[in-house]
Chains A and B, each alone.
Chain A
Amino acid sequence: MHSISTSFFIVAAVYFCGIAVISFLGMRSIRTEDEFLTAGRTIGPWTGGAVLAATQISAGTMVGTVGRHYMTGVSWVWVWPGVWAGWLISAIFVGPKLREFGTVTVPDFLAVRFRSEWARILSAIFIISVYTIMLIAQYQACGVVFESIFGIRPIVAMLILMVSTFLYTALGGVRSSSYIDFLQILIVVTGLVLAVPSLISDVGSLSAMGKFLTTIDHRITGSWYSGAQIFGFSLSFGLSIAAAPYEIVRFSSMRDKATVRKAIGVCFLFQAIIGSCVLIMGLATRALFPSIQNPDQASSMMVLTVLPPFVGSLFLVALLSAIMSNVNAILLVASSGISYDIYGKYLRPMSSEKSKLLVSRLSIVLLSAVPIIFALQRYSDVQSLVVLQTRFIASFFFVPVILGLNTKRGTSSSIVGAMLGGMIGCLFWSIYSSHHKTPIDASEIGILASALAFFIVDKWTHAGPGTPIQGSLS
């Protein structure tokens, strides 16, 4: 084992004790399922912003994006404007309006807004399926990192992740996970910021790094991807964030509309710092280690060889906590799909709060265990799994959520048509583009198909004025 091991286990033990205390305090204050999923709608802008950033910053960023910068260089950074455009869309067209609408989950919103139980069931099933891909990416990243650094078998690392995330997701709900997210994002940002000077000092200078990377491959400091490819990636990331169910469910835990807007601004700040640091980390690791077996190992290499043991340990804890935070957010939203949308609204509408809470916790156990089976197969690199998931989320949810919140158009049939159209369009183009070279991204086709299906079916089935926008639970 490496010398980082001892300091890591001490830091991790202190950190997880802190998490256990916060989760236990959170558990004591929960009495209903609504409190479990919305933290009693008391979260403020700073905690809210940290929560949004922590929810989005996952293994995809800390392992996948670093690996992608390692392999492809600077040009991946142009995906970030797409991410930020997604947050802007969310701040203007989604977050505050959804918070005002008052529903707890995205399936719940779609069902109430379009008066369609089919929309509820379909979107709940879709969330559970697609977020399984995202969970696979998180588990896979955890396996790679712990195998590289401690020589732990991936299955053991994944089980540790599953148990620790289950503890604070199932026990404390959104309230405790929000406070933990605040602490996590602080460690993530500090760890990243501190890694940068160490890396630059080891390479020599930014100028030496840039020149050497150009020698390795001129595309690393130039453009690896074409404009069309970057546009496609940005669109997938941006629009999936604007309509991401696991981000949206966090809006419902915030105090009011103004808090949501401020929280998105705070989230911007965190992400700008994280994006810049991750770029330099990927590039510097490539300059220090020009050829490693798997780009997903770039973060681990940096922790092992560059950072001082204490900072490296904290960075590793931050990486683990970013993975946990994302898994936690996904588990909350996917389990709410089972407990709230399918069990509570469709299967047993008259069930007690206690039984709904029990179903919620049981579904978290189930949903956190299944992706481990797939993660052990290691189908692809972490970032590719994240990209795949964003394409489907953008294609399936963007049109229904945006049009549902900002227009009076739409019927129960048109919303189902839009969701199915988006999913089929994205799936078809993904399979087509895996055999044929095309500059058009699957998310572009998916969103187009979703919008076309929405308007065509709406035209056929529309009868009278649209449903007014109003809340169901507010």
Chain B
Amino acid sequence: MTRFFRKCLLISTVVAASTAVCFAAGDLTAYRASVTYKDIHQASVDVAFSVAGKSGPQSVQLIVYPGQKIEAWQAGDSTTLPEVPPGAGGITIPFPFTQSGMYGVKYNVVSTGELSHVPLPVPDSLPVSREHFVQIDLSLPPDSVVYDDPFPQKVWRDSLHGIAQLPAVPAVIAVRFAPAGQVSWRMKWSSVGRLSTLFMMLMLIVGSAALFLYRPRSLINERRTQ
């Protein structure tokens, strides 16, 4: 029986093969990023990751947001960031290493407006395990308050330092904060997270009421048919 299913399910490899993504590099075994906000417009990023296997990462991908600028790029000895074509939403940066081991990337992100999204470099290596091997440390400027749910969700050591542990590398850190005196109740309650929670509760109440009202009608119909 098991062999029969094994045979049958072999068939599905046609579909699976057509969806496979090629990752030529080795396995990603650890990834740690520290994102430190200097103010609401700029942050510094310090990333260290290790790759095990036959080869190192061949490239890293970086999301690019309009109005943002990457400065002081440093990947190993390389300090040159490829030019971002106009209108591009991301860049694939060739990585100057061919062997597995530990790697480091540092850069600053500067935004003309509010810096709510900080890009992180994502190596072209698949995570080796499902454990939470990715750690993101976030530090905010003194006297600031977070008024929306950050991505990824974090455990806060104190009001200014948060840690996220994940099973995969995120391409971005999203956080919205403002100086403590400038956060109004409207900013707090109009956040996507809070509105979603409120809407979900509302739908549950409405749905349960609808089900409660609908059920007797169907039972009446049933009695009529009987």
A residues sitting closer than 8 Å to B (CB atoms) are: 3, 40-44, 46-47, 68, 71-72, 133, 136, 147-148, 179, 182-183, 186-187, 190-191, 194, 197-198, 201-204, 207-217, 224-225, 229, 255, 287-293, 295, 297, 301, 304-308, 310-311, 314, 373-374, 377, 379-381, 383-385, 387-388, 430-431, 433-434, 442
* Pairwise interchain contact B170-A379, C-beta atoms closer than 8 A: no
Which residue of chain B is the closest to A426 with respect to CB atoms? B11
- Which residues of the partner chain A approach B10 to less than 8 Å between Cβ atoms? 431, 434
* Pairwise interchain contact A291-B12, C-beta atoms closer than 8 A: no
B199-226 interface with A by 8 A CB criterion: 199-201, 203-204, 207-208, 211, 214-215, 217-219, 221-222, 225-226
* Pairwise interchain contact B170-A71, C-beta atoms closer than 8 A: no
Output the least CB separation between B45 and chain A (Å): 16
Which residue of chain A is the closest to B225 with respect to CB atoms? A42
| B104 adjacent to chain A (CB < 8 Å) | no
* Pairwise interchain contact A287-B63, C-beta atoms closer than 8 A: yes
Output the least CB separation between B29 and chain A (Å): 12
Residues A291 and B124 in contact in the complex (CB < 8 Å), given A43-B218, A210-B89: yes
* Pairwise interchain contact B200-A191, C-beta atoms closer than 8 A: yes
Ranked nearest first, the 10 interchain pairs of A and B with the lowest CB-CB distance are A211-B89, A215-B90, A384-B12, A202-B151, A430-B11, A379-B9, A305-B152, A308-B193, A212-B90, A42-B222
- Which residues of the partner chain B approach A384 to less than 8 Å between Cβ atoms? 9, 12-13, 15-16
A-B residue pairs in contact (CB < 8 Å), sample of 29: A44-B221, A71-B21, A148-B130, A182-B211, A187-B204, A190-B199, A197-B196, A198-B149, A202-B151, A210-B89, A211-B89, A212-B63, A215-B61, A216-B90, A217-B21, A288-B151, A288-B171, A289-B171, A290-B171, A291-B21, A293-B129, A297-B168, A304-B152, A311-B197, A379-B5, A379-B12, A381-B16, A385-B12, A434-B13
Residues A291 and B125 in contact in the complex (CB < 8 Å), given A215-B89, A255-B221, A381-B16: yes
Which residue of chain B is the closest to A307 with respect to CB atoms? B196
CA distance A112 to B199 in the complex (A): 50
| B110 adjacent to chain A (CB < 8 Å) | no
- Which residues of the partner chain B approach A197 to less than 8 Å between Cβ atoms? 192, 195-196
B residues sitting closer than 8 Å to A (CB atoms) are: 2, 5-6, 8-16, 18-19, 21, 23, 28, 61, 63-66, 87-92, 116-117, 122-127, 129-130, 148-149, 151-153, 155, 164, 166-172, 174, 192-197, 199-201, 203-204, 207-208, 211, 214-215, 217-219, 221-222, 225-226
* Pairwise interchain contact B16-A305, C-beta atoms closer than 8 A: no
Residues A207 and B19 in contact in the complex (CB < 8 Å), given A42-B225, A216-B61, A379-B5: no
* Pairwise interchain contact B19-A215, C-beta atoms closer than 8 A: no
Residues A293 and B61 in contact in the complex (CB < 8 Å), given A201-B174, A384-B12: no
Output the least CB separation between B204 and chain A (Å): 8
CA distance A433 to B13 in the complex (A): 10
CA distance A201 to B218 in the complex (A): 42
Choose among B167, B193, B200 the residue that contacts A292 (Cβ–Cβ < 8 A). B167
* Pairwise interchain contact A46-B91, C-beta atoms closer than 8 A: no
CA distance A114 to B167 in the complex (A): 55
* Pairwise interchain contact A47-B11, C-beta atoms closer than 8 A: no
* Pairwise interchain contact B126-A290, C-beta atoms closer than 8 A: no
